[in-house]
Amino acid sequence: MTMTAPPPGKKLNRIGLELQAYRGSKTTLCAGCGHNAISERIIDACFELGIEARQVLKLSGIGCSSKSPAYFLASAHGFNSVHGRMPSVATGALLANQKMLAIGVSGDGDTGAIGIGQFVHLMRRNLPLVYIIEDNGCYGLTKGQFSPTADVGSTLKNGVVNDLPPIDTCLMAIELGASFVARSFSGDKKQLLTILKAALSHRGTAMIDVLSPCVTFNDHQGSTKSYAYVKDHDDPVSEVSFVPYFEDISIEYDPGTTHEVSLHDGSRIYLKKLEEDYDPTNKEQAVRVLHETAARGQYATGLLYVEPQKPDFCSLLNLVDEPLAHLPLERVRPGREVLEEIMERQR
């Protein structure tokens, strides 16, 4: 007779849930697809932050990337909308219920091509939304055509060379008014997770461009979005760490080498200097560094820009605290005297 040890206690988060509670349905994307790793990090981030999945909206457009909301947070409300137009759907949904935490997942075609117009105006509005671009430089679902984030000189599998300059979504987002802009790599588990946790704690548009290689159509020699290329050309601007508001941890840091950023909910981000001292609240520096690293053929990753106190769109619209969607009749239909007053003015 042998004694079997009891199963080790499963790890529970601060609201008493297991990691399993944050999973979605089984992925139908290719094995090894960067997007799956991103879904995993979203699951980890929500688990670690103790987010209630039911309070989350997951929205997407169309494409491989946009399928992924089905693969995380099964109990969240999801909306796989139309190609390139997720920002408007997210805008409407958040205006209807600003209490929800919204995660939008897009792709480089969904954002950079068909959706560039809505992307631009989303950034301008600073809607409280985590906007993730799963960026592989190609259209996977239609079998590998170039997208607008493909670099000049990058090649398709069949040898066709891209001769148009790429759209840098991070540069655009910074210029347009997004209040949290980051770039990461699906293969960098630690950095991506940290950035996601910070983004989920930020109030305003958190735009994260995640380089996410397409193993089927864009992972070959000659592609600048392959695992090997991104790994070799990843140039983090700083080392990022995150302390959520509910963790009572005091961090000792050297102000000469580390920047601290406090978010509206009391969470803190720490950015430790690597080569150059990088101040993520300095727009000019962010823009310069992005241009310089791109010129070297590298990817500046990390938290590129943050403006934690910038008013988000719902604040600008001066909305009542309760979700508009759930206001009772008496608060949305004015009384008889109002109609009478209006009628009187037309007589």
Partner 1 sequence: MSSTDLARESSAATPGASRVVNDFSIQVATVNGSGSQTANLILIRSIFQMGIPVSGKNLFPSNIAGLPTWYTIRANKHGYIGRKKEIDLLVAMNPETAKEDVLTLDAGGVVIYDEPLNLKALRSDLVFYPVPFDKLVAPVCPDAKLRRLVRNMIYDGVLAHLLGIDLGEMEKALNRQLGKKQKALALNLGALRAGADFAAANLPKQDALYIERMNETAGKILIEGNAAAAIGCLMAGVTVVGWYPITPSSSLCENLIDYMRKYRMDKETGKATFAIVQAEDEIAAIGMVIGASWAGARAMTSTSGPGISLMAEFTGLGYYAEVPAVIFDIQRVGPSTGLPTRTAQGDILSTAVLSHGDTRHPLLLPSSVRECYTMAMDAFDLAERLQTPVFVMSDLDLGMNMWMSDPFAYPERALDRGKVLDRETLTRIGEWGRYKDVDGDGIPYRTLPGSDMPSYFTRGSGHNARGQYSERADDYVNNLERLQRKFETAKDLVPAPEIDRRDDVRIGLIAYGTSHWAIVESRDQLRQEADLDTSYLRLKAYPLAASVEAFLRDHDRIYVVEQNRDAQMASLMRMEYPAELTAKIRSVLHFNGLPIDARSITDSVLAQEGFAVGAGVRQEVAGPAAVGGE
Which positions touch partner 1 (CB under 8 A)? Answer: 54-55, 57, 59, 69-70, 75-82, 85, 87-97, 99-100, 117-118, 120-121, 314, 317-321, 323-327, 329, 331-334, 336, 338-339, 342-343, 346-347
Rounded-to-integer distance, Cα 48 and Cα 30, Å: 27
Comparison of 80 and 258: residue with beta carbon closer to partner 1: 80
Our CA angle for 259, 265, 267, nearest 5°, is: 35
If we measure between CA atoms, which residue out of 202, 187, 221 comes closest to residue 301?
Answer: 187
Query: For partner 1, which is the closer residue by CB, 117 or 153?
Result: 117
Residue type, 133: I
Query: Could you tell me the smallest distance in angstroms from the CB atom of residue 11 to partner 1?
Result: 24
- State in angstroms the smallest separation of the CB of 120 from partner 1: 8
User: Measured between alpha carbons, how far is 215 from 150 in angstroms, rounded to an integer?
Assistant: 15
Smaller CB distance to partner 1: residue 62 or 193?
62
Of 99 and 288, which has the nearer Cβ to partner 1? 99
Among 288, 273, 299, 136, residue whose Cα is nearest residue 218: 136
Pairing of strands 130-135, 238-243: unpaired
| Nearer to partner 1 among residue 295 and residue 320 (C-beta) | 320
At its nearest, how many Å lie between partner 1 and the CB of residue 326? Answer: 7
> Is residue 127 within 8 Å of residue 312, measured between CB atoms?
yes
Structure tokens at 343: 């009628």
Minimum separation from the CB atom of position 330 to partner 1 (A) = 10
Report, in Å, the least distance between residue 74 CB and partner 1.
8
